Amino acid sequence: MRPLIFLAVTLPLVCLFWVGFSHGSYITIDDKNVYGTVFFIRGRVTPISDIVSIRRNPIFAGLMAEVLMKVRRKDGTIAERGLANKPGLTEGDFMRLLETIRSANPKVAIDQELFAK
């Protein structure tokens, strides 16, 4: 009986997390703004014109790479915000994301390692 109760409780939770993280996590670029959504919760909106640079940050001993963007705040200071992790997007989607940001803000400095496969 205990295994059935365990499955009845954990299976819906696992399904909820799977749907939330697989279908509820994405990056949106609209009207000169970029923001990420994780688990259907919208993150902080960042104007593309405020992005200073985009760089790669290796994590898990270099097995994965998080993509960080440096953003100029309203008071003039620089802050880093996470944009995406490279393995989380297909290669084509990731390149389109970088090109869209570059076309909206040609001054942004993008790390050349991000364009390598």
Per-residue pLDDT reduced to its tens digit, 66-110: 788 888 888 889 888 887 665 666 777 778 888 888 888 888 888
Task: Report pLDDT for 30.
Answer: 81
pTM (two decimals): 0.66
CA 6 to CA 117: how far, in whole Å? 43
Task: Report pLDDT for 62.
Answer: 61
Residue count of the chain, please give it: 117
Tokens 């915000």 found at: 81
Q: What domains are defined for the chain?
A: 2-115 (2.30.29)
How sure is the predictor about 37, in pLDDT bands with cuts at 50, 70 and 90? Answer: confident
